[in-house]
Structures are given as structure tokens and as C-alpha cells.
Amino acid sequence: MPIAPDASHALAPVMITLSLIAVVYIGLVALTQADMKKLIAYSSISHMGFVTLGFFIFNEYGMEGALLQMISHGFVAGALFLCIGVLYDRVHSRQIVDYGGVANKMPVFAAFFMLFA
């Protein structure tokens, strides 16, 4: 039972529109990042737009999808930030251009990184 059910239903079109704008706009902002940590952070914000969208659809599939997205995002984002920490220890940089050849130097790590990405 929502805290303010009437207000939630009345503002649903606005929240859905803002969620869609957040998903697209923040996704485009994430694509322009040169810092890998910032890229993951912006993509996390974009993914939370999907969660908000699912909650304001007000049906069972939307709620289940939003909950599943939140749980999976927690695992995936944590794993990606851990991978970036490992890369920073090895390369001493968070810039994407400095990560060339990582698959040749650390193939198992690269496979795990691609699994989480």
C-alpha cells in the first residue's frame, strides 16, 4: 500500500516521462565519459530510471521487474566497481584509453569483467 496512492496515480505520467528522459539522457552522458568509474556511475543512474519506470507502471510485472532490476544492479554494480579497483591497482589509471591490451595481459580477469558488463 503506497504512502500517497492518489498522488502516485495522479503523478504517474509525469514520473514515467521523467524516468524515460533519465534513461535516455543519462545513458548518453555515460557514453561520453572517459573515466571508467564515472561511466559505471552514470550507467547506474540510468538503470535506476528503469526501476522508477517499473514502479510507476502500477502492475505486477512492473513491480517485479523493478525489484529484479534493483537486486541485479546491486550485484553487477558492486562487481564492476571491484573490477575497476583491480584495474586501477594494475594500470594506475581509470581512463578507458589506458586499458588497451588488458585482455592479452589478464585474460581471465577480462572474461570476468565482460561477464559483469
**CB–CB of 96/34 below 8 Å?**
yes
**CB–CB of 95/84 below 8 Å?**
no
1 pLDDT above the threshold of 60: no
| Cα 9 from Cα 11, distance rounded (Å) | 6
Our count of domains for the chain comes to 1
Residue 95, strand partner residues: 35
Q: Which pLDDT score is estimated for 5?
A: 83
Domain boundaries, position 30: 5-116
Please tell me the pTM assigned to this model.
0.85
**Grid cell in block for residue 63:** 513491480
Q: Which pLDDT score is estimated for 60?
A: 95
| Residue linked to cell 570476468 | 112
Q: Is 54 exposed, middle or buried (0-12, 13-18, 19+ CB in 10 A)?
A: buried
| Cα 108 from Cα 27, distance rounded (Å) | 28
**Grid cell in block for residue 52:** 522508477
pLDDT in tens, 19-54: 999 999 999 999 999 999 999 999 999 999 999 999
Q: Which pLDDT score is estimated for 42?
A: 96
Report which residue type is found at 44. S
pLDDT in tens, 61-85: 999 999 999 999 999 999 999 999 9
